[in-house]
Amino acid sequence: MKKIIFAIFLLLLAALLIIVFLILNRSANGLTQAEENQDLTRILGHPASLKDKVIPTGNVLFKGKYYSFAYPASATKYKPNQVDTSLESFDFDMSSPRIYAVSEVIVATPMQKKLDDNSGVRMRQAQSSLYQELPITVDNKPGLSFEKNDADGVEKSGFFLVNGKYYSFSLVGSDKQSIDGLFLQLMSSLKFL
């Protein structure tokens, strides 16, 4: 008799545990999209953007008055930074990897007859322990490229003197391979107009 009562007690205990387990693990009604957005906004402190950001691929052609080149469509371009001596400029950056790109065209003065007369070129040549200088030819025009690698990152620049105008291109970032690739892309697509 004690065995039967003990068996019934174990069955009732097992049934009770199963019922409690089912009650605690029942599926809850899911949140509606509006409720989910409201909760996320409350947690984040600003409206949540649940859509994937589309990152454009390929290249875009910048065609200015004095030069043109292809740059990545994923880049963020900036308004031209026209200073008194600048005829034209085009700046952009990329976020992955982070690269800043600056290009500018300025008029050479009558005293400036060689590429070495440009202050950007002279400054880099004066710091030859930091900058590696190499000749470069783009669009059948000779120029100079400079590369600097140090604790601050990588800088790769190109300078040209074409039809009495100095053209300068500079890339700055931390990923040497990406900067080398982007510099090659810009230089291979560059046309002096």
Q: What is the pLDDT of residues 149-167, one digit of tens each?
A: 998 899 999 999 999 999 9
* Prediction pTM value: 0.71
- Chain centroid to CA 19: 56
Whether residue 26 is predicted with pLDDT greater than 80 in this model: the reply is no
Least confident among 39-43, 79-83, 119-123: 79-83
Topology of the domain covering 59-192: Protein Transport Mog1p; Chain A (3.40.1000)
For residue 55, the one-letter residue type is I
Burial class (CB in 10 A: 0-12, 13-18, 19+), 179: buried
d(CA 82, CA 175): 29
Give the integer Cα–Cα distance in Å for 157 and 133: 10
Cβ atoms within 10 Å, residue 92: 18
Q: How confident is the model at residue 84 (pLDDT cuts 50, 70, 90)?
A: low
Per domain, the residue ranges of the chain are 2-44, 59-192
| Helix ranges, 25-161 (H) | 33-44, 119-126
